[in-house]
Structure 1
Amino acid sequence: MSSSAALAREQRAERNRGRPTLSFDGVTPYAHYTAVSTLLSLQRPRTEEPAETTFLVATQVMELLFALIRHEWEQARDAVDADDVPAALAALRRGHKAQDVLAESWELLAPMTPTEFNRFRDQLGEASGFQSYGYRHLEFLLGNKSAAMIRPHRADPHVSAELERALAEPSLYDAVLRLLHRRGFPVPAERVERDWTQPAEPHPQVVRVWELVYADDRPDNELLALAEALLDTAERVTLWRHRHAMAVKRTMGAKAGTGGSSGLQWLMRNVQKDVFPELWQLRTQL
């Protein structure tokens, strides 16, 4: 914080006698900073059904949160790459708060009945949350890599290039295993250097590495704190997936999805997939 800016704020408050400023040249600084006019122009329902506006806002809020969580997870990964575990923990914990809001955002859609949804569902055409490239970035950062998932975005060179980059980079979990390797833990070589575009199968030696980390449960063991923060992240991902599946089950049951999937059946399969499975497998062995 610059001292000159702080002084200007103090002087402004003194001139205003503690009251907020009411006169500005042009739009308010708040409207300029937040681009609120642009933001509020993006809700364009296609029917007269009131629930459609709720659906649009909820979806757009989720996209903003995807972007925020991606930012935090990339910050965490980069901090791990730089051996800065405290910074990684701070980023993951900020991400946890955003993940909590993301999961709770399904509450916006909870009151919507199947009848209300059916009044505007046809307007979606083939649009589906499965096509969200913001969400796809998160899946790649978690290590759920699949080149085929970039295919829907081929018509947008910028988006496809960003996803190709994310596909080829180590995931957040990959970065943590590489950190453990640098700290002297016996991480298998095939998990230290590999083709990052491919998902990794759970490895018993990685579970063993996590056993060694958990063997030191002193409060100042930053690697144990990092492991627990990863579990907090993983649990929140599963919670969001489950809330998604329950929202779909409540509004459309087992009908086929708009994007060509089986809908609920597809979503429930994803709910069953553990995030960072070796950290979960460890729980059975400790």
Structure 2
Amino acid sequence: MTEAYDPAREGAQMAFDGRMSYTDYLGLDAILTAQHPRSTAHDEMLFIIQHQTSELWMRLALHEISAARGHLQEGNTRLAFKMLSRVARIFEQLNNAWDVLRTMTPSEYTEFRDALGESSGFQSWQYRLIEFTVGNRNVALLKPHAHREDLTQALEAELARPSLYDVAVRVLAKAGFAISADILNRDLRQPWRADESVQAAWREVYCDPQKHWELYELAEKLVDFEDYFRRWRFNHVTTVERVIGFKRGTGGTAGVMYLRRMLEVELFPELWHLRTEL
């Protein structure tokens, strides 16, 4: 009879009294006991874990976007590109997660929907922070977080900083492109409005990529991110429609109709509009 394989013979650590283990390092006790279904429905666990893991991916996305913005401000464009590429891959993971949630049928969701009360993904402060960080700013959407001073402060602090797109446009200006003073000195709390001087600058970059290669690559990194972000929004819409049809959302939004309206929002409008002109 073949003797059972013992990894310890090859140096594997097998005893962890007083040592840091895998569970310790990752804080798995806290993570794996953070699921608290409020009903007896089998699929509520799927619903909770889907949203918890999405929030973890958003946590990483914010880490990368914030660092990429900082590197752009410091002129470290290559480092920023690596991080922006990673953010696009993160949103690919977030997109794949919808495929798992879509295995839940309307009947299965109905079994525990009432247990959600008025909680809703619409109230995700990390999602709102991602939008604010990349440039989609709407101060009206601070209201769902007003009951938490710490969350409101985090969102307000972001509104006081130039967004990722503001920084990208300032990189254009620093490179010598004629960007409108109204854009460079705009109120950072206000939503971005498409600007002809910005579009003209990006158009020039795209008309001569070899001359403006780093700016060209920056533009494509931003478009890559928004591409995956749009897919995430679209998958959100189709998943919600598949599961609840056109019912109102638990948080009081118009559900599918609200999400469809969000599909029209452009993060970096000039980068999309210029394509028609090339």
- Matched with 1:250 is 242
- C-alpha separation in 2, matches of 1:109 and 1:27: 38
Please tell me whether residue 280 in structure 1 is matched to residue 254 in structure 2: no
Check the 8 A contact 1:167/1:197 in 2, yes or no.
Answer: yes
- SS at the partner of 1:96? helix
Q: Which amino acid aligns with 2:270?
A: E
Please tell me whether residue 216 in structure 1 is matched to residue 216 in structure 2: no
Please tell me whether residue 49 in structure 1 is matched to residue 49 in structure 2: no
- Matched with 1:21 is 13
Coordinate RMSD, CA, aligned: 1.5
Deviations along 1:60-103, one digit per CA (max 9) or x if unpaired, are 00101111111111111111111111011011011111111011
Alpha-carbon deviation of 1:17? Answer: 4.3
Check the 8 A contact 1:234/1:275 in 2, yes or no.
Answer: yes
Q: Which amino acid aligns with 1:85?
A: T
Alpha-carbon deviation of 1:110? Answer: 1.2
Alpha-carbon deviation of 1:28? Answer: 5.1
Alignment of 1:7-18 (within 5 A): 16-18=8-10
Alignment of 1:50-69 (within 5 A): 50-69=42-61
- Matched with 1:238 is 230
- Where do 4+ consecutive residues of structure 1 move more than 6 Å? none
Which runs of 5 or more structure 1 residues have no equivalent in the other structure?
A: 1-14
- SS at the partner of 1:50? coil
- C-alpha separation in 2, matches of 1:36 and 1:26: 17
Check the 8 A contact 2:205/2:212 in 1, yes or no.
Answer: no
Check the 8 A contact 2:134/2:267 in 1, yes or no.
Answer: yes
Which runs of 5 or more structure 2 residues have no equivalent in the other structure?
A: 1-6
Q: Give the length in aligned residue pairs.
A: 272
Alpha-carbon deviation of 1:156? Answer: 1.6
- C-alpha separation in 2, matches of 1:84 and 1:211: 23
- Matched with 1:77 is 69
Q: Which amino acid aligns with 1:42?
A: A
- Matched with 2:190 is 198
- Matched with 1:183 is 175
- Matched with 2:88 is 96
Of residues 114-123 and 27-36 in structure 1, the stretch that sits farther from structure 2 once superposed is 27-36
Q: Which amino acid aligns with 1:67?
A: R
Of residues 137-146 and 229-238 in structure 1, the stretch that sits farther from structure 2 once superposed is 137-146
Q: Which amino acid aligns with 1:60?
A: Q
Alignment of 1:149-188 (within 5 A): 149-188=141-180
Please tell me whether residue 109 in structure 1 is matched to residue 101 in structure 2: yes
Q: Give the percent of matched residue pairs that are identical in Structure 1 and Structure 2.
A: 38
Deviations along 1:25-55, one digit per CA (max 9) or x if unpaired, are 1575211110001000101111111111000
- C-alpha separation in 2, matches of 1:131 and 1:27: 39
Deviations along 1:159-182, one digit per CA (max 9) or x if unpaired, are 111100111211100100011101
Q: Which amino acid aligns with 1:234?
A: E
Alpha-carbon deviation of 1:56? Answer: 0.3
Check the 8 A contact 1:238/1:275 in 2, yes or no.
Answer: no
| Cα pair distance change 1:141/1:212, threshold 3 Å | same
- Matched with 2:4 is none
- SS at the partner of 2:43? helix
Alpha-carbon deviation of 1:104? Answer: 0.8
Q: Which amino acid aligns with 1:193?
A: N
Check the 8 A contact 2:8/2:14 in 1, yes or no.
Answer: no
Of residues 214-223 and 86-95 in structure 1, the stretch that sits farther from structure 2 once superposed is 214-223
Alpha-carbon deviation of 1:272? Answer: 2.1
Of residues 213-222 and 28-37 in structure 1, the stretch that sits farther from structure 2 once superposed is 213-222
User: What TM-score results when the alignment is normalised by the length of structure 2?
Assistant: 0.94
| Cα pair distance change 1:86/1:32, threshold 3 Å | same
- SS at the partner of 2:249? coil
